[in-house]
Amino acid sequence: MRIDLEKTLTGKINDLPSLKSLVQSWQSEGQKVVFTNGVFDLLHIGHITYLAKAAELGDKLIIGLNADSSVRRIKGESRPVNDQNSRAAILAALFFVDAIVVFEEDTPLNLISTLLPDYLVKGADYSVENIVGAREVIANGGEVKTINFVEGYSSTSIINKIRNQIS
C-alpha cells in the first residue's frame, strides 16, 4: 500500500475556519478534542513524549503552532531554526496528531476561544491559573491538564550544545 505522503501531511494542516468546522464535527460525534500549543522547533523525545501523553487524554489532538514571526518575538531573532512549514509537516507526520493550525499571535487565546477544545494541555511548568485559554475552556465545560516534561530535553539546550561544539 502506498501512502500519498504530501496529501497525508498537508491534510492535517488547517486554517482556523476549517479547523473550527472539523472540531464541531468531531465533538458532535462524541469525540473528545485535545488542544496544545508550542513552537516545536527541534523535535526531540521530550516533545514526542509530551504530545503522546496529550493525545491519550482524548480522541483527537490539535496542535497550535507558533508562526515564525511569533517565535522571533518570543525567543529572539535567531529562532526558529526550522520554518513554520517544516515544523508543521514534521508534526503532521506523527500518527497521533490529527490537526495543526499555525497562529501569528504571541498566545493561542484566539485559537482556544474559537475551537473550545474538551481538554487544554500545557507542560507542568505552568499552573492552571496561568494557562492562556484555561478560563474559556473551563467556562465551556472543558478541562485543563498539565503534563510533566521529560527531564533534560529542550530545543534551546540542543541549540546550545550544537553551538558549543562548533565553537
User: Cα 57–67–105 angle (5° rounding)?
Assistant: 85
Q: What is the pLDDT of residue 106?
A: 94
Q: Which pLDDT score is estimated for 153?
A: 66
pLDDT at 166: 81
pLDDT at position 87? 96
31 occurs within a structural domain: yes
Q: Is residue 109 assigned to a domain?
A: yes
Residue 8 falls within a domain, yes or no?
A: no
Judge whether 7 lies within some domain.
no
Cβ atoms of residues 122 and 8 within 8 Å: no
- Position 150 scores a pLDDT of 76
Burial 19-56 (b: 16+ CB within 10 A, else e): bbebbeebbeeeeebbbbbbbbbbbbebbeebbebbbe
**Dihedral of CA 118/105/75/66: which sign?**
positive
What is the layout of strands, in order, in the sheet containing 119-123? 13-14, 99-103, 60-66, 33-38, 119-123, 143-147
Does a structural domain hold residue 2?
A: no
Structural domain span for residue 145: 22-166
Over the stretch 129-146, which tens digit does the pLDDT of each residue have?
Answer: 899 999 999 999 999 999
Domain contains 14: no
40 domain residue, yes or no: yes
133 domain residue, yes or no:
yes
Q: Which residues of the chain have pLDDT under 50?
A: none
Reported as a single tens digit per residue, the pLDDT across 83-100 is 999 999 999 999 999 999
- What's the domain count of the chain? 1
Q: Is the peptide bond before 17 cis (omega within 30 degrees of 0)?
A: no
Return the CATH number at 154.
Answer: 3.40.50.620
Q: How far apart are CA 111 and CA 33, in angstroms?
A: 13
